[in-house]
Structure 1
Amino acid sequence: MAKGKTGRRRPRGGHLASLDMDASIKRADYEVRLKKLQTRLQRIQQAYLYTGDAAAIVFEGWDAAGKGGTIRRMSAVLDPRGFKVWPIAAPRRYHLERHYLTRFWERLPPNGAISVFDRSWYGRVLVERVEALTPEARWRRAYEEINEFERILTADGTRIVKIFLHVTPDVQLRRFEERLRDPMKRWKLSYEDFRNRRHWGEMEAAIEEMVDRTSTKHAPWHLIPANDKKYARVTALRLIADRLAKGVDLAPPPLDVRVETAAGEIFEASDLIASTAGRTS
């Protein structure tokens, strides 16, 4: 086994080659696990709004790997006042004239919030590298810049979860075909999706180096086999929930004394308040 610059042992043949691409889950099990995970995520968000904790969740992966579907299973149950999804596309002129991390600093979560990045600052060492959109010296320098960026965030208390969804070329092509046939999903396809397939080997090399160089103790990468979408979703959400919940009291916060007093004056229902607290404990 080789050893990356972060000191982690790299599986022979690469990180992606070590994944079990046949991993799957039955629909009945998926539905049960998904519901439990969504409930847990709701408790986590409630706790964050009370404690002021914050988290940044990074989703990277191949086109049609299931990033959007996984994110939707989160956004469907979380309150948008404390949850924000940032879809990252090519930067506009304003950001092209500034350091590439500028637009990500501006989108970091405030206290008590959770932000999801649908693609992220890792574009510099993935698509920008493979498509030669930035000079080699710059994308090579980015590994160190990204590690320091994430170190600063975690040192300041922001939790980071980094997910990469991996699919095989044949599964990706089948999903492209499904999108072409479904008028409601065609918007997800672009010319670049097909063009990128010609760079599959180069992208694999970029992914391997990205993991070697930027999977750190404070912000490790989680690579998930995603040929089975349901398996990938529950695996990703479990990893996210475990990281966000670590060291956090997920019990419902106590009722504000002023709220309790005002409610008692209006409803004259101290028993109701007590019973409500009992149900949520």
Structure 2
Amino acid sequence: MKSNINNTSRILHLNQLDKTKKLPPDEYQAKMKILKNRIRELTFLSKAKERPVLFVFEGWDAAGKGGAIRRLTQEIDPRLFEVHNISAPNSEEIQHHYLWRFWNRIPQKGHIGIFDRSYYGRVLVERVEGFASESEWSRAYEEISLFEEQLVSFGTIVIKFWLHIDSDEQLLRFETRKNDPLKRWKLTDEDWRNRDKWSLYEEAANQMFQKTDAPKAPWFLVPANDKYFARTMILETAAERLQEELR
């Protein structure tokens, strides 16, 4: 199976991504069957070797993070993983350092933690929306890098994804959600407001990639206009990273 990933030439700027990449449905089904089996085997191996695994998912609203996470975890032993859907801090969490609530959710040895949004909110939504001062979000790059260094030193395998769609594709998905009674709950007023700050979020994301990408905690930018391509790229990347670390 031909790889979508070349770790030596990873793209770390959103404007350089080719968002036209697509995968036919039949090829998608064939690849996913193979990839899910690989993920299952590798996560059992990480359990045997007592290596924690942390997946970080970031990206635009409606980019497909939830769907990608569901495909990633479908063949993993449910006793081994936990998905954390991160929203605004609650009344207790806001009284602590912003990393406190993430320290409390990092996976134990042999287990898998998945953040659907993460501590990177400090340099994304908190930066753009003014919830953190410039001095706070500016120093967060080093704080986050040190946080991940400690995880890696403990043996944690850290894999970070950004799912990237263009503004037109996001609008189409918003309209689809608005018109679907079963998906309407996913769409909020905040989602619409964030579209008006697209360029600010894009600038913040690009700076985040440059400042927090690391050999042992790499960013993988995923073209996600086509959900089939995005999902296979994510599972393929996850399998390659796990195999590399567990070799």
TM-score (norm 2): 0.94
Question: 2:141 & 2:27 partners in 1: Cα distance?
Answer: 39
Could you tell me which residue of structure 2 aligns to residue 271 of structure 1? Answer: none
Task: Give, in angstroms, the shift of residue 76 of structure 1.
Answer: 2.0
Q: Following superposition of structure 1 onto structure 2, how do residues 169-184 of structure 1 map, counting pairs within 5 Å?
A: 169-184=167-182
Question: 2:245 & 2:200 partners in 1: Cα distance?
Answer: 39
> Is contact 2:157-2:245 (8 Å) kept?
no
Q: Following superposition of structure 1 onto structure 2, how do residues 1-281 of structure 1 map, counting pairs within 5 Å?
A: 15-248=13-246
> C-alpha deviations, 1:218-272, integer Å up to 9, x for none?
21111111100110010011111111122426xxxxxxxxxxxxxxxxxxxxxxx
TM-score (norm 1): 0.83
Question: 2:123 & 2:60 partners in 1: Cα distance?
Answer: 14
The alignment of Structure 1 onto Structure 2 pairs a total of residues equal to 240
Q: Which has the larger radius of gyration?
A: 1
Question: 1:165 & 1:94 partners in 2: Cα distance?
Answer: 30
Question: 1:234 & 1:9 partners in 2: Cα distance?
Answer: 19
| One-letter code aligned to 1:180 | K
Question: 1:129 & 1:151 partners in 2: Cα distance?
Answer: 23
Task: Give, in angstroms, the shift of residue 10 of structure 1.
Answer: 10
Unaligned runs of 5+ in 1: 1-7, 250-281
Q: CA RMSD in A?
A: 1.6
> Is contact 1:44-1:244 (8 Å) kept?
yes
Task: Please identify runs of 4+ aligned residues in structure 1 that moved more than 6 A.
Answer: 8-11
Identify the range of structure 1 (226-235 vs 48-57) with the bigger mean alpha-carbon deviation.
48-57
> Is contact 1:60-1:120 (8 Å) kept?
yes
Task: Give, in angstroms, the shift of residue 69 of structure 1.
Answer: 0.4
Larger relative CO (CA 8 A, sep 6+): 1 or 2? 2
| One-letter code aligned to 2:122 | R
Unaligned runs of 5+ in 2: 1-7
Question: 1:225 & 1:74 partners in 2: Cα distance?
Answer: 17
Using a 3 Å threshold, how does the CA distance of structure 1 residues 10 and 72 change in structure 2: closer, same or farther? closer
